Amino acid sequence: MPKKDQTVDGQNITGTGWVYSEEVKKHFFEPQNFVIKAPIDYSGLGMVGSPACGDMMKVWIKVDSKSEKIKNFSWQTFGCASAIASTSMLSVMVTENGGLTISQALEITPRHILDRLGGLPNRKVHCSVLGDKALQAAINDYFRRTNQVSRITFQGSRVIDKKLNITDKDIEEAVKSGAKTFKEVQQKTKVGTGDPNCIPEAEELVKFYLEKYS
């Protein structure tokens, strides 16, 4: 660990930049809403990352259909202390005080998670970004399951199946999570079942991502 005021690569780095806050340590040693077994009853599932490439987060949300409040947020994370603490804190933020509505939950940013944790070391900030993406993926899955595809939101993605609003990122995540063939990707994402005309493009994307992550 660098000593206080040590210079690394021409930059001044203090020891505090490498120290976990008490809140981070609390959520790492006593993670909230963590589950060993995947829940059976849930409204949406979101997964980002890959254990082969680094941190992976999988979250399940339970949504009250009348109020659209998120009543339950269960999760599993493969990764470091920052990844675990970030997901734990996110689960608390979403469900505290009776639960956030979907609209409110979509307003959560990585900065909100960082602030509640009291910060993270610079090299670990990406962990809070993963949590934000996993939550959005779970909400998008809820929209698909409840036939509200017009409400699905994207960040830097290209829509492949325009009937079901399935993007290239959805296909990429399916491959990263273990799908080895187009059929397996289709089972995970339903790509091509809404718009069969997109299947050739989807198949090419599957081949591309398989080569990329092999």
Please identify every residue annotated as catalytic.
Answer: 53, 127
> How many Cβ atoms sit within 10 Å of the Cβ of residue 25?
15
Q: Give the span between the Cα atoms of 166 and 148, in whole angstroms.
A: 13
Minimal CA–CA distance to 49: which of 176, 168, 154?
A: 176
Segments in 49-167 forming alpha helices (H): 81-95, 102-105, 110-117, 126-145
Residues 117/140/177/125 CA torsion (nearest 10 deg): -20
Tokens representing 123 are 């090299």
